[in-house]
Structure 1
Amino acid sequence: MLSAYLPAENGLAPLGAERDLGEALWIDLCGPDAEETARVESFGIGVPTLEDMEEIEISNRLHREGDCQVMTVMLPGRDAEDRQFSAPVTFLLTPDRLVTVRHHTPRPFATFATRAERSSAGSGTPVRIFLGLVEEIIARQADLLEAAGRVLDRVASDVYGEEMNDVEGLRLALRDIGQQGELTAKVRLALFTMERMLSTFMVWNGTMKHRDPQIATLAKAQMRDINALEVHLDFLNSRVALATDATLGMINLDENAVVRTLSVVAALFLPPTLIASIYGMNFANMPELDEPFAYYIALGAMVASAAGTWIWFKAKGWL
């Protein structure tokens, strides 16, 4: 799908079907077909395929092709089944337009056009649209981290609370913690690749034709935002580790309680089993077998031995 935008009073407006694609300052390609790719490549911009984007080594994801800056980052998004995963997104920045190529749906690409007027970078030039989109992506990563923090707050409240006393609830809590750990890992990858992209962009900025003195200031501000999010991410990762250890500890305590109960029950039946084993030997000379009340005496001895064992465990504090 091809979406094209031009500057408007309220930020960015979709390019009408009757307008020439060359007028667009931002062209967004989402899973483009051959025709859409050819339309963009007619401007002298090479559009990478998904295989190219996935096979690019980290060291080669940032390069220049003439006046075009090619920058590939990894961003979390949703698949067709609404599951969170990370996939590459390529920014093709030229003096005339910005082209983004993606094959999944990171939320910032759906929301930026309607909120471009709120961007500190504005949307009057391709490079400002690029920085505004980066700002939207950074804000989205912050939202994801805040959501992960809220889930960890809820899980910690449940795990440490008195009402959480069943193993199944603890297992569900452990699943939620694992999901947040995976999410923070995806956000960390996004922040890492975006930090490299911005640092490289700042080096290239001095040779760009726009000569906008505010661009470097805006990029540095976004770098500071990324650094702040990385600090917050480290804090969340420590919370994930602590919550995982606490939940596993609670599960172990519950399982130990079950094992202790089974051990006590087994111990209670050991003396009666011993008595039953003795009188089940069938030796010829067992004088107790001739007594009329021998059966009841044996049963009484079994009950007394089990009760004595239980009283002893209770006195030791094992029950």
Structure 2
Amino acid sequence: MITSYVKMDNTLTAINGLPAEIDSNLVWIEVNLPVEDELKNLSDTFGIETGNNHYNGEMDIGNYLYIRSDLLTLSPEGSPVFGRVNFILSDDVVITLNPNADFRPFDSALRRLNRKLQNHANPRAVLRVLLQTANDNADMVIDRIADELEQTAEDIFQISEGRSDDGKELGVQDLLSTIISLNKKEEIISRCLEAQLSLIRAVRYLNGEVHNIEEEELQILVTELAGDVVEVKEHASFEYEKVRYLQNAVTNILNIKQNQIVKVFTIITAVFLPPTLVGTFYGMNFSVMPELSWEHGFIYSMFLTLAAAILPLAYIKYKGWLR
């Protein structure tokens, strides 16, 4: 699907398809999930290469600058969505090629473009706003992940305490679920970092196309955008380190809980092994067992068994192994 953005009375207006007349009022063409006929129409009209394999990263072909960038945004359900967008920039128009129908990173760009006249003064200004929108989308995604990590940290604290706020007992299985969740977040943040690196390259290429003297104001905005993109990347790096820290914390808690389980079984074994040994003696079929003829032989054997259990338990408690 092709959507063209044309200047009408100092305002950008979206129209379906290409306009009947291609002139200087056309500044942005957004192409989402294009079909072959649409790509051919673009190629014939503007003389551009529309295949994904024609360039890798950034290339100058004819009068066009081709930039490939991996971006991310939030879906309507609030989950991160990653996609690849190809930017094609010239002095007359900027074209965005998006092969993924579910990835719509520029839905809010039109409102931004119409806030100020200089935002859509030329294709380079439009591309600056598109990249700013992509960076803000990434910032929202990382903020969402940061909030989830805060909740995860609280869950880990509750698991370490052994019970949740509602009194539910928490154990190893809850830690395993937390580890899986953290692994997924680690993967998402890794892709966020890759997307920001890709966006940094795109901003750098745009910066090279802006005329320092004739477009001084735009140059300042692009420089500020470059700083914003780096800051979002640093934020993502910080959250990545937080994920790694939480993963280590969960692993340590898991090891402690597993050691506690092993310790409990060890103590049970140490307590019940001596009484088992006493019972084994009295289970033997010897012809002469004096205790069998004693008046209080049964009570004697019971006290002997109880003492065999209490003495190891008292020793374990004295050593502090029950803590």
Normalising by structure 1, report the TM-score: 0.83
Moved more, 35-44 or 22-31: 22-31
Partner Cα separation in structure 2 for residue 281 and residue 141 of structure 1: 76
57, 65, 68: which one aligns with 2:64 = 68
- 1:35 is displaced (CA, Å) by 1.3
SS in structure 1 opposite 2:107? helix
- 1:201 is displaced (CA, Å) by 2.8
From the superposition, tell whether residues 112 and 80 of structure 1 become closer, same or farther in structure 2 (CA, over 3 Å): closer
SS in structure 2 opposite 1:110? coil
SS in structure 2 opposite 1:32? coil
Partner Cα separation in structure 2 for residue 72 and residue 301 of structure 1: 82
The aligned runs of 1:9-158 (5 Å cut-off) are 11-16=11-16, 19-20=19-20, 22=22, 24-42=26-44, 43-49=46-52, 52=53, 60-77=56-73, 84=80, 86-104=82-100, 105-118=102-115, 122-158=119-155
**Partner letter of residue 40 of structure 1?**
L
From the superposition, tell whether residues 74 and 17 of structure 1 become closer, same or farther in structure 2 (CA, over 3 Å): closer
Partner Cα separation in structure 1 for residue 279 and residue 174 of structure 2: 42
- 1:211 is displaced (CA, Å) by 5.2
Checking the alignment, whether the CA contact within 8 Å between 1:45 and 1:68 is kept in structure 2 is yes
Checking the alignment, whether the CA contact within 8 Å between 1:119 and 1:132 is kept in structure 2 is no
**Partner letter of residue 60 of structure 2?**
R
SS in structure 2 opposite 1:25? strand
SS in structure 2 opposite 1:244? helix
SS in structure 1 opposite 2:106? helix
Residue 166 of structure 1 corresponds to 170
**Partner letter of residue 32 of structure 1?**
P
- 1:80 is displaced (CA, Å) by 12
Checking the alignment, whether the CA contact within 8 Å between 1:71 and 1:90 is kept in structure 2 is yes
Any gaps of 5 or more consecutive residues in structure 2? none
- 1:225 is displaced (CA, Å) by 0.9
Partner Cα separation in structure 2 for residue 28 and residue 227 of structure 1: 26
Checking the alignment, whether the CA contact within 8 Å between 1:121 and 1:218 is kept in structure 2 is no
- Post-superposition Cα deviations, 1:168-224, rounded to whole Å, max 9, x if no partner, equal 4433433343333222212211111111222233234459xx953433222211111
**Partner letter of residue 13 of structure 1?**
T
- Post-superposition Cα deviations, 1:81-111, rounded to whole Å, max 9, x if no partner, equal 9864533211011222111112234443222
SS in structure 2 opposite 1:108? coil
- 1:276 is displaced (CA, Å) by 2.4
- Post-superposition Cα deviations, 1:90-145, rounded to whole Å, max 9, x if no partner, equal 10112221111122344432221233224795123222111110011111111122
Q: Count matched residues.
A: 310
SS in structure 2 opposite 1:122? helix
Moved more, 11-20 or 95-104: 11-20
Residue 183 of structure 2 corresponds to 178
- 1:286 is displaced (CA, Å) by 4.6
SS in structure 1 opposite 2:285? coil
Partner Cα separation in structure 1 for residue 177 and residue 297 of structure 2: 55
**Partner letter of residue 75 of structure 1?**
L
